[in-house]
Structure 1
């Protein structure tokens, strides 16, 4: 392509070098960037490559900065939408992941929006640990010039709902910032809160930037619209295989599912998640209706949508997880002082235990109250998709996606209880269909340098993405070594994918395998214990450039593994506690310590 005569020859060469080899998405982004430069009539610099920026990076005081922290991708998705809407209105905005944000810039920010998820019961997402720690520290600057707004994403089945967002909002005010918009706290039905919050926040940003008479530049969407299935328009996929992979004597029912992607146009990479929209079991819906003496055929209108009460409960409302807002509403309706006491600030431990051990049906039976169908549907949290780490590489399985699923089944006071998604999936027969979509996880990727070694720590179903990792590394002939730490209660009944790992060892696709079967001996042994046993070699691998991955339970395993890695740093690297923490934080910042925990 010939460049116009008004473009200097030296710049033509630079443009050629810049665009060579770029895909269409990157070229589209550059197009939006240069349009912003022209419109702004000023010299703008682009963000460094690691920063996920969606706009030209003008002087900090002349733009809306949007920082996001995301564990599963929801906060990222909301933040991207916020940035794209800002750009569509002509506002100059930049979008930065929390671990890519240069904290020294904070003292100069004038307009800052933060979209932050809460992981588990009050923890920040992995990509935001350092940012949150900085804000909480004495190093955080005074912010008298800052106008800010915070949107939190969380799960109201935990007592500390949106706890990280609440603490960030309070801390920015403590540092002297002016709250431009009230804190938003979105439950799993994210859009219910996120959409109106974003509408208001964008309007306030327009006023704030217009008041400064700021030249504006547009934002080019990061993801061009496609016809592929999405969260809101999932693909109806066929089940090809649904088989148990634990033995009959196991305390667990773990399934391996293979699902067809034929005709979906869906693609994924190792580390991504599969989103599944479940349906509540009819027996549970009928029990709820019977307990409340309600008719499933009753027509309920919410907004402009009318459905039968049975359909609302089966496909659109959460029935297996209690939430604090519903508990509060039910306590008032039942007139229960006992339930009201659980909602007091000094009763967090009791509330946590109550929410973890009881489902909706248990609450309705133990504390009777009279609900109308309409009030019930309005009070219950909307049913949301469940995310599962993908257990396959598309380089190997082509138009398929595989899952490793642990079913949740237990008894409460003699009655059966279950998890909605695992019950839904486990009951599917081959040939039946389920609604799915792909959720990207950019933070949980294999190293681009295939000569790098990888250490994978995944007990139980946390091993799922590492099955995908090993498949991918084999298919791409990666020269780096692969080391897997796996654990479960019993060798004989719970060794998931045993024959595959043995074959991978024999073929040279897996170089080390350390196993921790906790109940096969008097003293319980876990993956973190195996890490400590192999401390010298683990440290050597890491210092030679290995990437470390952890997948599984966030509440205990991931924290114990984290502590084991810190001990390895202190022991093998002769580090003190501060140095070990900085070492591990540095690995995370380089993308060499990644976690997919839940």
Structure 2
């Protein structure tokens, strides 16, 4: 039996909340829906769901800055945990936060991610600039705690969280709990921080702990499949998109979500749990002089070393924390000197993997347990979803470029991309979950024009966007910029784009194939060529989306946008114009 949500002409929900409620209801059985209805009725009866007005400041503000949605999800989790303890919290996104409100806060909990080379999330930039400006107020009345999310594979690990923590203290705020910096396997660290912070706040606010109701299932248990409990999705299709002769290998994969209850929207991300390649494991074991059958302790249980390296540990990418742990075992003067010189360490890490580290700095009498204790958990790989659920019910599609390269005398390959490209047969299952990205979404008004810029596999979310716009009968214009190396071999989804152009769903498309002429042409060059039209679309209210490499492409696209605005307005306020686009959520980026 399918349960649907009746259309309501008047609703207190905002658009995001209404969409979420529709997705939740669609995934429920009649019994589950009845239980949730009673659960919410009980909450209302006990005055636990009162919505604070603009004049009703919560005791605790959870201030969240997120690029891909992980910080948002943790903020929601903390909000629920706080409510269970009788603590009143409100979540505020940094992009929507009114800066003068900062000096009125009492208890401020900051959850913020860092991406790229120490960059704050796009929606946090204005707040970061304000905090570090002369206008920043004294915050002596504020108590705070900071949770940072990042990736230790980058040099400036959790830099935005560090910056918030130090600056709030410098402005006079009182730290109620030490900052925690979380790596890609952030769940345990984040939950420990939440528990400790909420305990401290409960004592300071004199809130007595409330007994949990263990007799009823929780909403989390109704929606069982998640990052912690991934769904075993069956592989339906694995198609190579590049033509013969291309130096690239881009795969289009289609996975079944039937029976999972999982839903997604265009702009969301698919998390995939890969395993390490057997040949990579064998080479590492041989270098370490291990057999793979040694017993080690993993999560409180004994297991074979090989099995742990296969599915649990990151065994390729070197992170600084990993090097620091290994150096304590190596007791090697050269390695210690390398760790002490940031620039030399960066040079060494570039293009090398863990096998190079253990080869260059061997440890005598290294035990398997000591070695794995240096490693971090194998993180999931995230891929932009390339399909609309309305067009492909019970399916999810992704676009994946197989990563292979040669460096420092060894052949290398991407863990997740080659797992999907080489080692998954049709009808095999892949452990997946949906990562909702609230910061990369189509306009609520389907008549709004959109501009999409996505070279290479950055095209993936825009396939989903266009499929969705077609499915809902959107009247807004759609303009797509795409780039790759060669027209004949690398025009990803070419026949689909041609069909969309023919039937009018795609208003216009401009393509740049960098290697088809002597002078390389990229998407940012096309933007400059059509700058007048692009600016006119923005003046009409168009939303601009960028997906792809953050270091080069997204940076170059951003600079091209600034130049276009400056040229068309004839003023030096291009940065303000673009910043306002971002603040209005009309300029969104899915970058990595």
Give TM-score scaled by structure 2 length: 0.89
Paired with 2:56 and 2:200, the residues of 1 have a C-alpha distance of: 20
Distance apart, 1:16 and its partner CA: 8.7
Which residue does 2:29 correspond to in 1? none
Which residue does 1:9 correspond to in 2? none
Distance apart, 1:491 and its partner CA: 1.7
Distance apart, 1:185 and its partner CA: 0.7
1:392 lines up with 2:398 in the alignment: no
Match for residue 249 of structure 1 among 223, 245, 249: 245
Which residue does 2:147 correspond to in 1? 151
Paired with 1:79 and 1:516, the residues of 2 have a C-alpha distance of: 40
Pair 1:490–1:365, CA change in 2 (3 A): same
Paired with 2:305 and 2:52, the residues of 1 have a C-alpha distance of: 52
Paired with 2:42 and 2:201, the residues of 1 have a C-alpha distance of: 21
Which residue does 1:46 correspond to in 2? 52
Pair 1:456–1:39, CA change in 2 (3 A): closer
Match for residue 589 of structure 1 among 572, 583, 590: 583
Give the total of aligned pairs: 561
Paired with 2:402 and 2:484, the residues of 1 have a C-alpha distance of: 15
Which residue does 1:12 correspond to in 2? none
The secondary structure found in structure 1 opposite 2:390 is: helix
Match for residue 547 of structure 1 among 543, 546, 565: 543
Which residue does 1:352 correspond to in 2? 346
Match for residue 180 of structure 2 among 184, 207, 222: 184
Distance apart, 1:17 and its partner CA: 6.8
Which residue does 1:52 correspond to in 2? none
Distance apart, 1:198 and its partner CA: 1.8
Distance apart, 1:349 and its partner CA: 3.7
> After the TM superposition, which of the residue ranges 582-591 and 399-408 deviates more from structure 2?
582-591
1:196 lines up with 2:192 in the alignment: yes
Distance apart, 1:205 and its partner CA: 1.3
Pair 1:143–1:265, CA change in 2 (3 A): same
Paired with 2:482 and 2:195, the residues of 1 have a C-alpha distance of: 46
Paired with 2:242 and 2:581, the residues of 1 have a C-alpha distance of: 35
5+ residue gaps, structure 1, are: 1-14, 49-56
Q: Residue 65 of structure 2 contacts residue 72 of structure 2 at CA under 8 Å; is this kept in 1?
A: yes
Q: Residue 158 of structure 1 contacts residue 355 of structure 1 at CA under 8 Å; is this kept in 2?
A: no
Paired with 2:173 and 2:295, the residues of 1 have a C-alpha distance of: 48
Which residue does 2:482 correspond to in 1? 486
1:435 lines up with 2:431 in the alignment: yes
Distance apart, 1:542 and its partner CA: 0.6
RMSD: 2.7
Paired with 1:257 and 1:510, the residues of 2 have a C-alpha distance of: 23
Which residue does 1:368 correspond to in 2? 362
Distance apart, 1:200 and its partner CA: 1.4
Which residue does 1:275 correspond to in 2? 271
Paired with 1:527 and 1:404, the residues of 2 have a C-alpha distance of: 19
Paired with 2:231 and 2:334, the residues of 1 have a C-alpha distance of: 45
Paired with 2:119 and 2:530, the residues of 1 have a C-alpha distance of: 29
Q: Residue 228 of structure 1 contacts residue 266 of structure 1 at CA under 8 Å; is this kept in 2?
A: no
Which residue does 1:342 correspond to in 2? 338
Which residue does 1:3 correspond to in 2? none
The secondary structure found in structure 2 opposite 1:506 is: helix
Give TM-score scaled by structure 1 length: 0.88
The secondary structure found in structure 1 opposite 2:205 is: helix
Distance apart, 1:342 and its partner CA: 3.4
Distance apart, 1:112 and its partner CA: 0.8
The secondary structure found in structure 1 opposite 2:585 is: coil
Q: Residue 158 of structure 1 contacts residue 352 of structure 1 at CA under 8 Å; is this kept in 2?
A: no
Pair 1:17–1:487, CA change in 2 (3 A): closer
Distance apart, 1:584 and its partner CA: 1.4
5+ residue gaps, structure 2, are: 1-8, 26-35
Match for residue 421 of structure 1 among 416, 424, 449: 416
Match for residue 121 of structure 1 among 103, 117, 124: 117
Distance apart, 1:208 and its partner CA: 2.3
The secondary structure found in structure 2 opposite 1:182 is: coil
Paired with 1:528 and 1:267, the residues of 2 have a C-alpha distance of: 34
Pair 1:33–1:342, CA change in 2 (3 A): farther
Q: Residue 391 of structure 1 contacts residue 466 of structure 1 at CA under 8 Å; is this kept in 2?
A: yes
Which residue does 2:61 correspond to in 1? 65
Paired with 1:538 and 1:379, the residues of 2 have a C-alpha distance of: 50
Paired with 2:71 and 2:575, the residues of 1 have a C-alpha distance of: 26
Which residue does 1:110 correspond to in 2? 106
Distance apart, 1:265 and its partner CA: 1.8
Q: Residue 404 of structure 2 contacts residue 412 of structure 2 at CA under 8 Å; is this kept in 1?
A: yes
Which residue does 2:376 correspond to in 1? 381
1:333 lines up with 2:329 in the alignment: yes
Distance apart, 1:338 and its partner CA: 3.3
Which residue does 2:4 correspond to in 1? none
Pair 1:127–1:524, CA change in 2 (3 A): same
How big is each residue's C-alpha offset from its partner over 1:359-389, in whole Å with a ceiling of 9 and x where there is no partner?
Answer: 1111111221243111222220001111100
1:306 lines up with 2:302 in the alignment: yes
Distance apart, 1:441 and its partner CA: 1.2
Q: Residue 326 of structure 2 contacts residue 374 of structure 2 at CA under 8 Å; is this kept in 1?
A: no
Give the 5 Å matches for 1:3-152: 18=12, 23=21, 38=47, 46=52, 58-59=56-57, 63-152=59-148
Pair 1:557–1:368, CA change in 2 (3 A): same
Runs of 4+ in 1 over 4 A off after TM superposition: 15-36, 213-216, 221-225
Paired with 1:436 and 1:151, the residues of 2 have a C-alpha distance of: 26
The secondary structure found in structure 1 opposite 2:550 is: coil
Paired with 1:566 and 1:301, the residues of 2 have a C-alpha distance of: 54
Distance apart, 1:293 and its partner CA: 1.7
How big is each residue's C-alpha offset from its partner over 1:56-93, in whole Å with a ceiling of 9 and x where there is no partner?
Answer: x7335xx1111111122222222222221111111111
Q: Residue 269 of structure 1 contacts residue 394 of structure 1 at CA under 8 Å; is this kept in 2?
A: yes
Q: Residue 320 of structure 1 contacts residue 418 of structure 1 at CA under 8 Å; is this kept in 2?
A: no
Match for residue 172 of structure 1 among 152, 168, 173: 168
